[in-house]
Amino acid sequence: MMSATDDLPASDVRVPFADAFARLSAKAPFHVFFERPDEISVELYAPVGFDGQSPHDRDELYIIASGTGIFSRGKERVPFGPGDLLYVPAYEPHRFEEFTEGFSTWVIFYGPVRPAPELAP
């Protein structure tokens, strides 16, 4: 039986998780699926073993797709699991820690690039 969507063309309206996850590897742990510079960027991120990211110049949201662990943002540490939403302001140090094998998260960078904060003398 043919479904109602079998005759629809592919578009950016939907990115199936399995297709997105299949694009990632230990050497390429993220892939950008949608981007409008200075507005929004949507990626899937799946670090293997260690999250080595550094602070970013845009605000961001994480929507956990799979796995569990601890999220560190500044001095805060919180547990996370599938479906959780995490927020990080631009330039805030953050990382995923103690995450399970197969961990992955959607990453949404939004808004304009923000100027770096001034360092105290």
Residue 14's pLDDT is 86
- β pairing state of 104-110 and 94-97: unpaired
Residue 2's pLDDT is 42
* pTM confidence score: 0.85
CATH number at residue 64: 2.60.120.10
- 89 CB-side CA count, 13 A: 5
- Contact between 31 and 24 under an 8 Å Cβ cutoff? The reply is yes
Q: Which of the residues in the chain have pLDDT under 70?
A: 1-11, 120-121
Instruction: Count how many domains the chain has.
Output: 1
47: containing domain = 40-110
Residue 78's pLDDT is 98
